[in-house]
Amino acid sequence: MTRPPRYLKILLLLPILLMLGLPFFAGQQQVVSSTVIPAGIEYTHQRNGGIPWSIHIVKIDRASNNLRFETTVSNGKILGLGTVSEQAGAAGHDGWSPVAAINGDFFRIEKGPYQGDMLGLQITSGTLISSPSGPSFWIGRDGSYHIGQVSSRINVTWPSANPTTRTAFVAGLNGPRTEGRAVLFTTEFGATTRTEDGGLEFVLEPANGDPIAPLTPSMQADLRIVKIHDDGNNDIRPGTMVLSLDEALAEKLPPPEKGAILHIAVKTVPDLTGVVTAIGGGPVLVHNDRINPDADQATRHPRTAIGFNNKHFYMVVVDGRQPSLSEGMTMPELAQFMADLGATEALNMDGGGSSELWMDGQVMNSPSDGHERPIANALVVLNHDKR
């Protein structure tokens, strides 16, 4: 049988690519597999024999009311690491089940007391568990999608016998306490503060006697000091928060007393009031339909990215460090790919051995470590089957 001309193969393939909304590089890429599970989600695997590249794409219809996003941490706590499979498999509740997931933000990977601490923003089910810092993705309370720079301040007003001399300072959230600083720890962090280098720690409960509320953007609360410790590594018990002060900062403040009330005010720029889901990453790859020229890292690595336009949301994982399969992408190549895919906004996530796409109980890509790497957090797509 005579083989059809090569150009005829390309013409036969082109309508399929256009239907999928995928970029087409003639003579280099081919669609290996494509499936739709469940309604509103489409998975595509692209292979490029030129460089080579192996690219995994999940395309999500933003109009689907059966799909939503959730951010996760390993075993529900910041400390410790878990694979994407473990985190995705544990996600879901109230009729919502996980269908797709990718790795999330950069994190402290080195062994130590704060391994697993993510470096940027995370909001899970409306609770702020990691301080906003740098490029982030979030979903507004009106359902709108956003990618941009976020910053935060947790302002603490310190109690004083003289109201006119009350002192205010800024605290971090659920992470290492550096010299001269303070950190507020919530139960999402772990069992203890892991602060083993002295300082003062204050166990806090709501001043009005109500159950403690989750920490949220724009939250303001009066908290009563119920215990004072000076030995570090104190328990974070349900119904409490712990404020940890470095010795240098503690010496500058009026001596505290048990029963004193301090005020905590959370502020984010932009205002994230009502945001239920958010996660950090960086750098921004595409903004306002233009490629970010600052995304200029020129070495090819495995990459993970998210992006969206007014109709679709994209989760992309590019395999790398495997010359016979895929070399990975530079940051400009990833930005260009996201733009060609149709994303008007796009954000790079953690990459390297962390890059992974999980779908329907399976790891879809080829992680460069040869196995799943335990990571800090993940972005999970949940499906609600209303049949």
pLDDT at residue 16 greater than cutoff 50: no
- Tell me the pLDDT tens digit for each residue of 108-150: 998 889 999 999 999 999 999 998 889 999 999 999 999 999 9
- Residue 163 pLDDT grade (very low, low, confident, very high; cuts 50, 70, 90): low
Summarize the confidence of residues 51-58 as an average pLDDT: 98
Query: What pLDDT score was predicted for residue 386?
Result: 62
Closest CA to 53 of 28, 70, 73: 28
Q: Which CATH number fits domain 152-269: 2.60.120, 1.10.1750, 2.30.30, 2.40.50?
A: 2.60.120
What is the distance, to the nearest Å, from the Cα of residue 263 to the centroid of all Cα atoms in its chain? 28
Q: Which residues contact 302 (CB under 8 A, 6 or more apart)?
A: 317, 318, 319, 320, 321, 326, 328, 351, 352, 353, 354, 355, 367, 368
CA separation (Å) from 144 to 152, 273, 291, 311? 20, 13, 21, 11
**pLDDT above 70 as % of the chain:** 89
Strands (E), 255-361: 261-269, 277-280, 284-287, 290-291, 303-308, 312-318, 345-348, 357-359
The 8-class DSSP code of residue 118 comes to B
Summarize the confidence of residues 41-62 as an average pLDDT: 96
Q: Which helix (H) or strand (E) holds 7?
A: helix 6-20
Query: What pLDDT score was predicted for residue 21?
Result: 43
- How far apart (Å, rounded) are the C-alpha atoms in residues 251 and 198? 13
Summarize the confidence of residues 154-163 as an average pLDDT: 83
Looking at per-residue confidence, does 199 or 165 come out higher?
Answer: 199
Query: What pLDDT score was predicted for residue 122?
Result: 97
What number of other Cβ atoms are within 10 A of residue 192's Cβ?
A: 17
- How far apart (Å, rounded) are the C-alpha atoms in residues 45 and 40? 17
Closest CA to 150 of 273, 241, 331: 273
**Per-residue three-class SS string for 348-382:** ECCCHHHCCEEECCEECCCCCCCCCCCECEEEEEE
Domain map (residue ranges) of the chain: 61-120+281-384, 152-269
Q: Which residues contact 338 (CB under 8 A, 6 or more apart)?
A: 285, 286, 305, 307, 314, 316, 346
- Tell me the pLDDT tens digit for each residue of 340-385: 999 999 999 999 999 999 999 999 999 999 999 999 999 999 999 7
